[in-house]
Amino acid sequence: MISMSSILSSRSGLILFFLCLVPLATAYLDQGDYLLRICSTAYLYMLLALGLNVVTGFTGLLDLGYVGFYLIGGYTAGLLMARLGWSYWAALPVAAIHGGLWGLLRGAPTLRLTGDYFAIVTFGFSELLFRIVKNEEWLIGGPNGFVNDIPAPTLFGYELWQYWQQYYHILILLILTLLVVYRLHNSRIGRAWQAISQDEEAAQTMGINLHEYKSLAFAISAAIGAIGGAFFAQFQVNISAGVFEFWESILILCMIVLGGIGTLKGALIGAAILGSLGEVLRISLSWMRLPADSRYLIFGAILVMMMRFRPAGILRSTQKSP
Amino acid sequence: MTLFLEQIVNGLVLGGIYALIAVGYTMVYGVIQLINFAHGEIFMFGAYFTFLCLAVLKFPLWLAVLASILLCALMGVVIDLIAYRPLRNAPRLSALITAIGISLILQNLARMIWGAEPRRDLANAKSAFLSQTVIIPGGAQLSYLDLSIIILAILLMVGLNRLISLTRIGKAMRACAQDKMAASLMGIDTNRVIGATFAIGSALGAVAGIMVGMRETIEPTMGYYKGVAAFAAAVLGGIGNITGAMLGGVVLGIAEVLGAGYISSGYRVAISYILMILVIVFRPAGLLGRASAKRA
Amino acid sequence: MKQQTLIETAPYRALCRLEIGHICSALRSSLVLLLIFSAAFLLTAQEAEAAKTIKVAVAGPFTGSVAAFGEMIKKGAQLRAKEINGNGGINSKELELIFEDDTGKDKEASLVATRIASNKKILAVVGHFNSSCSLAGKPIYKRNRIVELSPGSTNVNVCKGSDYTFRNLYRDDFQGSFSAKYIKGVLTDVKTVAVFFDNDDYGRGLRDSFKQSAEKAGLAIVADEAYDRDTTDYKAQLTKIKSASPDLIFIAGLYSQAGLILSQARESGITAQFFGADGVDSPKLLEIAGEAANGIYITTPFIFGLEGNEEAQRVAIAFEQEFGKAPDTWAALTYDAVGMIVEAIEKRGESRKAIRDHLGSLTSPEKGYQGITGLTYFDENGDCLKPAYVKQVVNGKFVAAKVQFLD
C-alpha cells in the first residue's frame, strides 16, 4: 500500500522524484542531451559499483577484474541483438545469467584464496577475456572486438534510443539493483557475508558454509556487472574491446573505496562523483581556460588527496569491527 | 636449434628487465603489503631523467645515468613520504587507490612535459659499441646492449641479495617484512627502513628504464605494460620474495618469448597472465613463496 | 498471520528503510552534482551567445596513448583555420575550431560526440581519428544529423549505414590490396612475404586484405605475426620471421611501433625489404628508426614532395614556419577536411543540413573537392575513392617512389 504521497514525503522518494524530473529540465538546456548522457553514464557506474561492492565491499575480497563481467554482459547482449536479432528484453536476462555463470566459474578455483592472491587471479581473468575478445574474430565477428549496429530496445513498437528514454532505462535498472542489493545486505545472507569479511575461520566455525556464500556473492556481483554491460551495449551501439580495459576495473574500485567501502551509500556516492568527474573536469577546465590535457592529472590528484584526508572513504563503513 | 636459442636469449633479456622492475614491486609489498602501482611510472621516469640530463644539462652518458638513478631513488622516497606514509594505519585499499592516483599523476605529468610521442634520444645517445652484435656459441646473435642487460641484471640481483642478507639495513628490511610492529619494538626505525626499500626498488627500476630506453623507446605509457608484466613476474615468484621476483622475471620473459614464437603472437601478453593464474591456483604462494595462501 | 503481513508489506518496508538514510544522501549528492552541471552549462551557454563565429568541432586523441596523432590533427586544423580567418573568414565570419579530446577511447568518444552534437551551434565535426571512436560517434551524429568527417579512420565499417559519416581517405581493404598489387607489379624480386601486424582493428583489417590479395597475386606468405600496440619489444616475433627468411616484410601498423620494428629488425640481422602503409607515414618514423628506415616503401593517400602539387609544398612550408616541425599525413588530411567543411558552408549556407547535403553531392570526380591530398569524392556510403601513392625512404628522407600505380 504505497501511496504517492507517502513516497513523496520520504526523503529518498523526494530525491527520486527530482531525479525523474531531470529530463524535463534538461529539455530546456542548451546541451541537455549531453547532461543526460553524463547522468546516464554516472548511473551506469553506480550500478556497476553496487555490483562490485557485493564482492569487495561485503565479503572483503579485492576484485581487480570486475570489468570482465561487464565485458561478458556487453558482448552477450550485443551479439544476441546485433547478430541473432534478439529483443533486448530477452538478451538482458540471458546476459545476466551468462555473467553470473562466469562469476561462479571464476570463483571455483579461487574459493580457497584470500587477500591479494584472489585479487591477482581476478585481474588475470579479466585481462584474458580482454585478449580473447580482441583476438578471436570467429567468436565476435570482427577484429578488436567490434560489434556494430546493436539495435535499440523496443517497447510497444517504439525504439528507445533517445537520451531521456535511456536515462529512465538506466535509472530503473539502478533502482531495481539497489533494492535487490539492499535486501540482500540486510538479510541472513548479507550478515553471513559480513562475517566472512571479518574473519573467515570464525565464520566457518559459526556454521557458515564459506564456499556457498562466497559463490553466491560472486554470481550476484557478476550478474549485476553483466546487466551493466548489456545496457552499455545498446547505449553505445558500436562496441569495441577498448572499452573493457583494466582501467575500468580500477575506476570502479576507486569509486567504492572513495565512497567508503562496504556501504551502499558509499558505493553510490563514489560512483556518482568519479563517474561524472571526467566530464565535470572537461567542462570546468575548458571553462577555466586550463589545458584540457591536465584532466587525468587532476583526476589522480583528487584520488590522492581524498585518500590522504578521508582514508576510510567519504562515508565511514558502518560494519567495521567494533 | 639456433632459432630456439635466439628466442631463449630474447627471453633472457626481457626477463632481466622484468626482474629488475619486479624487485621493486616485491620489496615494497614485502614491507608494507602495498601493490605499488606507481612503480611502473618510476621506471618510466628513469628513462626520462636520463634523457633530461643528456639533452638539457649536457651531462656525459655515465653521469646522466648515475644522476637519473639517484633522482629516481629520491623520487621513490619522496612518494613514500608524502603519499604512503600518512596512510600506514589506514585501510590497505586506501593506499592502493593512492598508488593508482600517483601513477596517473606521474604518467600525465610526463606527457605534459615531454609530449606523448615516443622518443629515441636515449637509443641514439648510447655508444656505437653497444649496438654491435656478437655471435654467442650455438649461433645465436645478440647486441652488446642485450648482453650487458643480462650481465647487469645478474650482477645487480646478486648484489641485492648480498645487501639483503648481509648488511644491517638488509636485516632490518627482513625484520620489517616479517613483523613491522615487532621490528619497531626492537628499536628499528621502520619508516627509515621503508624509505630505504623504496629507494633501492626505485633505483633498480630506473636502471631497467634506462636500458629499455636505450634498447627500445621512451614514452609516457611505457611504464604500464612493462609494469604489469613485471608485477605478474613478482606474483609468479611469490610476492614479497626477492629471489622469487628474479626467478619470476626470467621465467615470464622466456615464457612470453617462446609463447609468441611457438604458440600465437596475438596472445603474447596473455601468456603471462595464464601462467600467473595457473601458478596462483595450484601454488598460491608462487614459485618460491611461503606455503600459506593467506596474505591479507 | 503476522508472517503474512510482513511479506505483504515487504516492498514498502524496504522503501521505508531505504528512506532512513541509505540512498537518500547518495541521491542528494547526485542532485547537487546536477545543479553544478546546470550552472556550468548556463554559464557556458551565455558565453557562447556573445560570440559571432562559425563553430566546427575537431575531435581526436589529444591525450592518451595515441596522442602523437592527435597533435598533428590539431595542428593541421589550426593552420587551415588560421589561413581561412586570415583571408576574411567564412562569409566574413570567423571560423572557430572547438577541439574535443576523445583520448582514443570509444567510451570517451561517445561522450564527446554527445557534447558536440547537443551543442546546436556546432555545424560539423572533423574527426574522429581512431576507427573505434568514429564508430562510437556514428550513431550519435546520425541521430543529431550532424556531419562527421574523419581524417583518419580506415576501418571498413566506419561509414556504412550512416548518411552523416564521411572520410577523406581510403579504406583498409583498398590499401591492403593496392600494396599487394604494387609489390607484385613493381618489386619483382619479391617471392615470399611476411606480414607483421598491429593486433588492432587497423592492423588486422589491413593484414586481412593484404594477405588475400597477395595470395591471389601469387606471393607466398611465409609468416604472419601479430604485435600489441603497447609493447615495445618485438624481438620474439622478429626472430620467428627471420627464420622464415622472407624477401619482404609488410608492416600493418602505426609509425611509432613500425620505427622500432625497423631498428630492431636490422639489429637482429634481418635484411628483407620493408613495406608499410599510411599508418607508418610520418616524419616521426625517420626519427625513431634512424638509418634503419632507409629503403622502406610506404603507401599513402598523398605525397608532399610530388611534382605538380605546389599547393601541398606551400602548406608544408607554412606548417613548418608555424609549428617548427614538418607536417605528416594526418595533418594534411585534417587540413583538407576542415577545408571541405568550410567550402560546404560557403556554398550551401550555415547549417548542419547544408553541410551534409554538400558533402553528399560530391559523388563524382568532376564534383569532387580538390585539396592538397588530392581529389576527394564519395560513394553512396560516404567512403572516399582516392588514389594511393607510394613513397620510399632514401638517405633518411621521404621521396616519391620511381614507379607510381595510378589507375
ipTM for this prediction:
0.86
Please report the pLDDT score of residue C9 as a whole number: 44
pLDDT grade for C4, boundaries at 50, 70 and 90: very low
Crossing angle for the helix pair A115-135 and A67-82, to the nearest 10 degrees: 30
Please report the pLDDT score of residue C35 as a whole number: 66
* Contacts C256 to B, Cβ<8 Å: 117-118, 217, 219
The length of chain A, given as a count of residues: 322
pLDDT grade for B283, boundaries at 50, 70 and 90: confident
Average pLDDT of the segment spanning C68-79? 91
**Three-state DSSP state, C192:** strand
**Cβ-based interface (< 8 Å): residues of B facing C:** 3, 6-7, 10-11, 13-14, 108, 111, 115-118, 120, 123-124, 131, 133, 141, 143, 212, 215-217, 219, 221-222, 224-225, 256-258, 260-261, 264-266, 268-269
Q: What angle do CA B196, B198, B199 make, to 5 degrees?
A: 60
Using the predicted structure, report yes or no on whether residue B194 has a pLDDT greater than 80.
yes
For the ranges A93-97, B168-172, C44-48, C322-326, which has the lowest average pLDDT? C44-48
DSSP assignment letter at C268: T
> Would you state the cell numbers that stand for residue B167, as one nine-digit string?
648488511
**CA–CA separation, B229 and B22 (whole Å):** 8
pLDDT grade for C37, boundaries at 50, 70 and 90: low
Min Cα–Cα distance to chain B from A75, Å: 20
Q: Does the beta-carbon distance from B265 to C68 stay under 8 Å?
A: no
**Percentage of chain C lying above the pLDDT 90 cut:** 45
- Whether the bond between C22 and the residue before it is cis, its omega within 30 degrees of 0, is no
Using the predicted structure, report yes or no on whether residue A88 has a pLDDT greater than 50.
yes
Using the predicted structure, report yes or no on whether residue A44 has a pLDDT greater than 80.
yes
Please report the pLDDT score of residue A271 as a whole number: 94
Nearest CA in chain B to C228: B266
* Contacts C22 to A, Cβ<8 Å: 12, 182, 264-265
**CA–CA separation, C65 and C133 (whole Å):** 14
pLDDT grade for B296, boundaries at 50, 70 and 90: very low
**CA–CA separation, C157 and C162 (whole Å):** 10
Identify whether the C-beta of residue B173 lies closer than 8 Å to the C-beta of residue B35. Answer: no
For the ranges A290-304, B231-245, C270-284, which has the lowest average pLDDT? A290-304
Average pLDDT of the segment spanning A273-281? 89
pLDDT grade for C320, boundaries at 50, 70 and 90: very high
Please report the pLDDT score of residue B192 as a whole number: 92
Please report the pLDDT score of residue A137 as a whole number: 81
Identify whether the C-beta of residue B87 lies closer than 8 Å to the C-beta of residue A307. Answer: yes
Residue C27 contacts by C-beta under 8 Å, 6 or more apart in sequence? A12, A15, A16, A18, A19, A268
DSSP assignment letter at C118: T
Using the predicted structure, report yes or no on whether residue C22 has a pLDDT greater than 70.
no
pLDDT grade for B84, boundaries at 50, 70 and 90: very high
Q: What angle do CA C192, C193, C196 make, to 5 degrees?
A: 155
For the ranges B112-116, C79-83, C176-180, C317-321, which has the lowest average pLDDT? B112-116
Identify whether the C-beta of residue B292 lies closer than 8 Å to the C-beta of residue B285. Answer: yes
Q: Does the beta-carbon distance from B261 to C63 stay under 8 Å?
A: no
Crossing angle for the helix pair B2-32 and B144-166, to the nearest 10 degrees: 30
**CA–CA separation, C11 and C17 (whole Å):** 10
Identify whether the C-beta of residue A282 lies closer than 8 Å to the C-beta of residue A295. Answer: yes
* Contacts C231 to B, Cβ<8 Å: 225, 268-269
pLDDT grade for A113, boundaries at 50, 70 and 90: confident
Using the predicted structure, report yes or no on whether residue B295 has a pLDDT greater than 50.
no
> Would you state the cell numbers that stand for residue C204, as one nine-digit string?
588486422
Please report the pLDDT score of residue A1 as a whole number: 42
Laid out side by side, the sheet with C297-300 consists of: C220-227, C192-198, C248-252, C273-276, C297-300, C389-394, C397-400
Please report the pLDDT score of residue C216 as a whole number: 92
**Cβ-based interface (< 8 Å): residues of B facing A:** 33, 35, 83, 86-87, 90-91, 93-98, 100-105, 107-109, 111-112, 228, 232, 235, 239, 264, 266-267, 269-270, 273-274, 276-277, 280-281, 284, 293-296
Nearest CA in chain A to B97: A254
Using the predicted structure, report yes or no on whether residue A138 has a pLDDT greater than 70.
yes
Please report the pLDDT score of residue C99 as a whole number: 92
Please report the pLDDT score of residue A4 as a whole number: 52
**CA–CA separation, A274 and A313 (whole Å):** 13
> Would you state the cell numbers that stand for residue C351, as one nine-digit string?
547549417
Identify whether the C-beta of residue B187 lies closer than 8 Å to the C-beta of residue B22. Answer: no
Question: For C347-365, what is each residue's pLDDT tens digit?
Answer: 998 899 999 999 999 988 8
* Contacts B18 to C, Cβ<8 Å: none
Domains plus CATH for chain C? 51-170+309-387 (3.40.50.2300), 173-300 (3.40.50.2300)
Residue type, A181: V
Higher-pLDDT residue of B61, A74: A74
**CA–CA separation, C105 and C156 (whole Å):** 18
Please report the pLDDT score of residue A100 as a whole number: 96
The residues pairing with C149 across neighbouring beta strands, listed in sequence order, are: C126, C166
**Three-state DSSP state, C16:** helix
Using the predicted structure, report yes or no on whether residue C46 has a pLDDT greater than 80.
no
Residue A2 phi, psi (nearest 5) = -100, 110
Question: For B11-41, what is each residue's pLDDT tens digit?
Answer: 999 999 999 999 999 999 988 888 898 999 9
Q: Choosing among A6, A38, A164, A237, which should be mutated to test the C contact, i.e. which has the most C CBs within 10 A?
A: A237
Question: For C208-237, what is each residue's pLDDT tens digit?
Answer: 999 999 999 999 999 999 998 878 889 899
* Contacts B118 to C, Cβ<8 Å: 68, 232, 256, 259-260, 288
Identify whether the C-beta of residue C122 lies closer than 8 Å to the C-beta of residue C91. Answer: no
Using the predicted structure, report yes or no on whether residue A234 has a pLDDT greater than 90.
yes
**Percentage of chain C lying above the pLDDT 70 cut:** 86
Question: For A64-73, what is each residue's pLDDT tens digit?
Answer: 899 999 999 9
Average pLDDT of the segment spanning A171-190? 93
pTM: 0.87
pLDDT grade for C109, boundaries at 50, 70 and 90: very high
Please report the pLDDT score of residue A321 as a whole number: 37
* Contacts A264 to C, Cβ<8 Å: 22-23, 26
pLDDT grade for B228, boundaries at 50, 70 and 90: confident
Higher-pLDDT residue of B23, A135: B23
Please report the pLDDT score of residue A118 as a whole number: 86
